[in-house]
Amino acid sequence: RAPSTVAILEDFVADCPGLRVTGIFEEGNDEPISFIEASGAGSHDSSAISASFLDLVDRAQRTVSALDREESLRELQIVLNDAYAVVRRIEGTSYYQLATVARDSSLGVILVMMRQYGAKLSDALKQRSSE
């Protein structure tokens, strides 16, 4: 049996220095499927985040498919002067993972971790959908 998405995200947090928050979102859901705030990240309104997040994904998807309607969004990286925000579609599912990290963290490490953990999340979410 695949571990839960929360358990997978907890391992992800442990493997990502500088991580602030991470969560799994799906279009049409007002709340994230799973959401974790790293220690020191403060308290976040998960409903507000979910709404904002889905707006971002919607505009990003429209941007890529405007040039070629066959294109699908795989990843969105936002570089701010004090942080990174990364959104990645979980392959084979309709879910997306979000991670925000401090700017002094390694973006490369975060991206590698999201891709590696994406496979585990995909298995867990597919199992969840089949139950």
Partner 1 sequence: MADLFNLLKEVRDDLPGCKLASIVDLESGMELAAVSEYESHLTEGTDAFLSDLYRVMRTAMPSFKLEGDVEAVVLDADETTFVSEPIGETNYFWHVATDHATTLGFVQAIMRKYRDRIAEGVRELTAH
Does 75 contact partner 1 by CB under 8 A? yes
CB of 78 to partner 1, least distance (A): 6
Q: Which is nearer to partner 1, 53 or 124 (CB)?
A: 53
Please give the distance of CA 124 from its chain centroid, rounded to a whole number.
15
CB of 127 to partner 1, least distance (A): 26
Q: Which stretch binds partner 1 (CB under 8 A): 11-19, 24-32, 61-69, 116-124?
A: 61-69
Total of residues contacting partner 1 (CB under 8 A): 38
Q: What is residue 71's three-state secondary structure?
A: coil
- Give the residue, chosen from 44, 106, 109, 123, that forms a contact with partner 1 under the rule CB under 8 A: 44
Query: DSSP class of residue 131?
Result: -
62-75: burial string, b at 16+ Cβ within 10 Å, e else: eeeeeeeeeeebee
Residues 77-106: x/- map of binding to partner 1 (CB under 8 A)?
Answer: xxxxxxx-x--------------x--x---
> What does the alpha-carbon distance between residue 6 and residue 37 come to, in Å, rounded to a whole number?
12
Residues near 96 by Cβ (< 8 Å), separated by ≥ 6? 24, 25, 26, 53, 57, 87, 88, 89, 90
Residues that bind partner 1 (CB under 8 A): 20-21, 41-42, 44-45, 48-49, 51-53, 55-56, 59-60, 62-64, 66-68, 70-83, 85, 100, 103
